[in-house]
Amino acid sequence: MVNGKKLAEETVMPSVLEADDAGAESEKLQLGEEELGGEESVISDEDDDTDLELGGIEEAYDPSGQTRYMEACEKLQVVPASYFLRHVKDSELNMMHRGLGPQGAKALAVPLVTNTSILRLNLRDNWMEGLGGAAIAEMLKENCYITDADLSNNNLGDYGARAIAGMLKENSTLVRLNLSGNHFTDRAAEFLGPALVTNAKLQNLDMSRNALREQAGEILGEALSENTGLRSISLAWNSIRGRGAVMLADGLGGNISLRAVDLSFNGFGKEGAVALGQALKENNVLEELNVSNNRIPPEGAVRLAAGLKVNKTIKSLNMSRNPIQNAGCYGILKSLLENKDSAMEALDFASIIVNKDFEELHAKAKDILPALTINHGGRIGTFGTAKA
């Protein structure tokens, strides 16, 4: 075990810290200006001296990586993070808002390659950018202990997305990964989609608050139809709409593992809602679906409700802040009452005003579905909000 770890140190450490010169052919960290349309530049020639040849150093095996970290910081000319040195043997390392930057992230990646204590890694909001994210991704290819990684709000961009995708194709340890708020575009989806098809270990993925649009919906929909590992995914606060929304819904229909899906704050509209209705007819594992704030009209809600007539697994549906009006709320509830096998426990119609017809139907639902709770924006002609 020790010999194997030492070999990993000798072979992996240089690649983690390796400078990505414009002419280099590294398949691990080099993503290339040409492939990303010049969006992210590589490290300049002046950074070539950051290559760290640690393999030739004779020293006792250091499972925490403290010695390696100090050497890496010196080589990269960054100030060592005292917090890391104090918590390097903990099971959870929380280094949010530390201002690591690309170089600090590269230095941190070195000891994490062979660290055997840390299981949960939180690097949220450190502005690592693509190069720092690539170093962390390279580390995660080798580390077989970290199961939970939060890399959100780091401006990884499409450059970092490709490195993460390469890591996911090889990593068999990560169970939870947060990539929220990293300025991913549809190009990032081109990298991450195939990785999600390959990786069957990752169970929870957060890609919310990015810049994913129609093409991303198409790519991710195809990937989700083949993925067999994910249990939850969040694509909230993106701009998935049109054909992308339809294709994404189609992918959910064919998925056999997802239990919770958050699609809130996109633009599914009528077409996307219709596709979701069809997906609910086909999917027999999904339990939670959030499509709030998606510009779904009454007709879209009624068409989505058609899937609820036959679905046997959905327990929670969030339709809040959509312009579905009373007609949409009524149609959804009516469909549930027509489904004797419905598992629905919670309906959220927050900020949507209902009328007397809906309340009468709800009173009837209490007898048929006693466990069902409904939240809505109040009844027409009354003040305030009501929760039934």
Q: Could you read off the pLDDT of 178-195 as tens digits, one per residue?
A: 999 999 999 999 999 999
What is the structure's pLDDT at 38? 42
- Regarding predicted confidence, which is higher, 58 or 213? 213
pLDDT tens, residue by residue, 354-370: 999 999 999 999 999 99
- Confidence grade of residue 64 (pLDDT, cut at 50, 70, 90): confident
213 φ, ψ (degrees, to nearest 5): -125, -150
Is the per-residue pLDDT at 279 higher than 70? yes
How far is Cα 154 from Cα 207, in angstroms, rounded to an integer? 13
Lowest mean pLDDT among 4-18, 250-264, 362-376: 4-18
Q: What is the DSSP string of 240-258?
A: -BHHHHHHHHHHHHH-SS-
Nearest to 251 by CA among 229, 283, 273: 283
State the average pLDDT over residues 36-58: 39
State the average pLDDT over residues 201-217: 98
8-state DSSP, 379: B
What is the structure's pLDDT at 17? 61
Instruction: Give the three-class secondary structure for 339.
Output: coil
- Counting residues of the chain whose pLDDT is more than 70, the rounded percentage is 82
- Confidence grade of residue 379 (pLDDT, cut at 50, 70, 90): confident
- Regarding predicted confidence, which is higher, 50 or 273? 273
* DSSP E strand stretches across the chain: 92-94, 120-122, 148-150, 176-178, 204-206, 232-234, 260-262, 288-290, 316-318, 346-349, 373-376, 386-387
State the average pLDDT over residues 72-101: 97
What is the residue extent of each domain of the chain? Answer: 89-100+111-387
- Report the phi/psi class of residue 367: left, alpha or beta, with left for phi > 0 and alpha for psi in -120 to 50: alpha
Q: Which CATH class is domain 89-100+111-387?
A: alpha beta
Give the list of residues 6+ apart from residue 11 with CB closer than 8 angstroms, or none.
Answer: 55
- Counting residues of the chain whose pLDDT is more than 90, the rounded percentage is 81
State the average pLDDT over residues 146-155: 98
What is the structure's pLDDT at 289? 98
Is the per-residue pLDDT at 11 higher than 90? no
pLDDT tens, residue by residue, 342-354: 999 999 999 999 9
State the average pLDDT over residues 165-189: 98
Is the per-residue pLDDT at 308 higher than 80? yes
- Regarding predicted confidence, which is higher, 44 or 70? 70
Average pLDDT of the chain is 88
Alpha helix (H) ranges present in 30-156?
Answer: 66-76, 82-87, 101-114, 129-142
- Confidence grade of residue 77 (pLDDT, cut at 50, 70, 90): very high
Lowest mean pLDDT among 43-57, 104-118, 169-183: 43-57
What is the structure's pLDDT at 60? 54
State the average pLDDT over residues 297-320: 98
pLDDT tens, residue by residue, 13-25: 556 665 443 333 4
pLDDT tens, residue by residue, 88-144: 999 999 999 999 999 999 999 999 999 999 999 999 999 999 999 999 999 999 999
- Confidence grade of residue 33 (pLDDT, cut at 50, 70, 90): very low
Nearest to 317 by CA among 296, 381, 147: 296
